[in-house]
Structure 1
Amino acid sequence: MRPPPDPTHAPAPAIRDRLRAALSAAASSAVGPTSDFDQNWPMPQGLGERPAGVLAAFHADGRLVLTKRASGLRHHPGQIALPGGKVDPGDADVVAAALREAHEEVGLDPAQVEVLGVLSPHRTVTGFAMFPVLAMIRGPFTPVPEAGEVDEVFTVPFAHVADPGRYRLERRQWRGDWRSYHVAAYGPHYIWGATARVLLALARRMAT
């Protein structure tokens, strides 16, 4: 007897179609750009927009690759993140930056990556315009965490990422003010802040 289908996984064509639908929704402005200020105080004037690229890379079965940043890092230690970083002078664009950083951080060969497109940027409180690059991973991939930068590489099922109902708002004090932020916890991993906000925007775009 054939086992029942696993609801947390989906065939590659279905995943690819859902991601392309998200790109179409972004192009039609169905869901606009996001920022760390969406649920909080007004965006400050003069905040920089240094470009950065992050790679939202999905396995054929829909699992999304995420990292846990090293606990010894100066910025955002121990936080959950998409592989990526700021655009360096040698990068052609945000896609090149995302692919380079993913290669460095998790050992993902750019030749294994099928880039589908780029979503609207997410503006961070630290002055970055973070562009999510949607992609599919071709074939098997065994991550290699970058020593000193990445403590862990793990995956989250597509069903968790793509369901807007998995995201909730929480609050904490930050620099003397209360700040609200999105959370999409998965097992022991506390996915929050900019990463959760970007993934929520992706889920909403796929739902339109």
Structure 2
Amino acid sequence: MDCPRDWPEPIVRVQSLTALPAIPDRYIKPPQDRPATDTPELTNINIPLINLSGLYAGDSGLRATTLAQISEACREWGFFQVVDHGVSPGLMDQARDVWREFFHLPMEIKQGYANSPKTYEGYGSRLGVQKGAILDWSDYYFLHYLPGTLKDHKKWPEMPPSLRSVVEEYMDQLVKLSGRLMKAFSINLGLEEEYLQNAFGARISEHA
């Protein structure tokens, strides 16, 4: 899976640059592409925070209120944060920890999973193939999970030993969460509850 020669330029792992006294110019975005930090209208933003437990609490009034909150957030903001979403905090911690362990493995082990611009699946440090492009200050690991026909466990790291099982469980919980949200979106659009799930080509299962 070692594919560094598929890229137009030598791949430099960002993690190998972190000890430098200054960030290389290759990673410094021009001023017009940087996030604004002094815009007055951004100082009092309260992104909607929605408790999803109301969707499956068995209380029709609470469910209607939660659906209305989601509808308003979608119309007014286009995004929102969720709490009590059904994904275990402990599992989220485990997922973060196993990936942290992976990124702290010796470089020669990680290089065995180096990705290619053909699919991006695997261990990578850049997106896009334009020579001389400004790069993001990050390394990443991209995996296919859905559809199942694209999932290839051979491209999932073997180290740390628990990574595959933890990631599998974590992704399963995220799929169930996305199913709950798509059902809510469908209902708010006046569609059948399963409409969006079916439109994406798969029935996404969930536990009530």
Q: Identify whether the pair has TM-score above 0.5, normalized to the shorter chain.
A: no
User: Whose RCO is larger (CA < 8 A, sep 6+)?
Assistant: 1
Q: Which has the higher strand share?
A: 1
Q: Which has the higher helix share?
A: 2
